[in-house]
Each structure stands twice: as structure tokens, then as C-alpha cells.
């Protein structure tokens, strides 16, 4: 099995499309609704693999996905960026017209 490398910088710098506050709101929404766990499972990745790629402890991811804790700080921003990248990679390409 080939290792999948998804890395996110320790301190995220974004392209300006979304502010950090908007990303925090988005990742909190994704965890509250179960979308974050759904994306992870659809990508066939474990919490350990996601945690390693986003530099977030597995116990933290587990609490976020179960709704016991709310994602905060740089860890939440890295997690959000990773989830968005996974979701984009899994969405079907629009057909050329």
C-alpha cells in the first residue's frame, strides 16, 4: 500500500480566499455536522493518518469528530485545509463542454 502524503504547513498561510476566522467557522461546522468524519472515511484515511498529516494529535481529532471539543487555533486551520484538499481531490472533475 502506497503512503499518501498530505502535508500542511505548521503555520498556515492562505491565498486570501477565506480568512482564518471563516476557516475556523467552516471546520467547526464540518465537525459538528459529521462532514469532517465523512470526508476522512470517504478518503479511506484513519484518524492517525489525518492527524499525522495535519500535525494534530489523534485524541484531539477523535474529540473533534465526536463533538466533545471544538476545533481551535492553528491545529484547526491545518485540519480544515487538509479536509478541503481531500474533498476537492475526491470531487468529480467537471466535464468539458
For residue 47, tell me if it sits in a domain.
yes
Average pLDDT of the chain? 85
pLDDT of residue 36: 96
* CATH code of residue 42: 1.10.260.40
pLDDT of residue 11: 46
Residue 31 belongs to domain spanning: 20-90
Q: What is the pLDDT of residues 17-74, one digit of tens each?
A: 678 999 999 999 999 999 999 999 999 999 999 999 999 999 999 999 999 999 999 9
For residue 6, tell me if it sits in a domain.
no
3-state DSSP assignment of residue 19:
coil
Q: What is the pLDDT of residues 5-20, one digit of tens each?
A: 554 444 454 555 678 9
Q: What is the number of domains present in the chain? A: 1
Split at pLDDT 50, 70, 90, the class of 94 is low
- Please answer whether residues 35 and 87 qualify as being in contact, where contact means their C-beta atoms are separated by less than 8 angstroms: no
Amino acid at each position: 500500500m502506497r503512503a499518501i502524503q498530505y502535508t500542511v504547513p505548521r503555520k498556515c498561510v492562505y491565498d486570501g480566499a477565506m480568512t482564518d476566522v471563516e476557516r475556523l467557522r467552516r471546520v467547526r461546522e464540518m465537525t459538528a455536522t459529521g462532514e469532517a468524519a465523512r470526508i476522512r472515511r470517504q478518503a479511506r484515511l484513519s484518524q492517525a493518518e489525518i492527524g499525522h498529516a495535519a500535525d494534530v494529535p489523534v485524541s484531539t481529532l477523535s474529540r473533534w469528530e465526536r463533538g466533545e471539543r471544538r476545533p481551535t487555533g492553528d491545529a484547526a486551520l491545518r485540519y480544515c485545509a487538509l479536509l478541503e484538499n481531500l474533498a476537492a481531490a475526491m470531487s468529480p472533475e467537471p466535464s468539458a463542454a
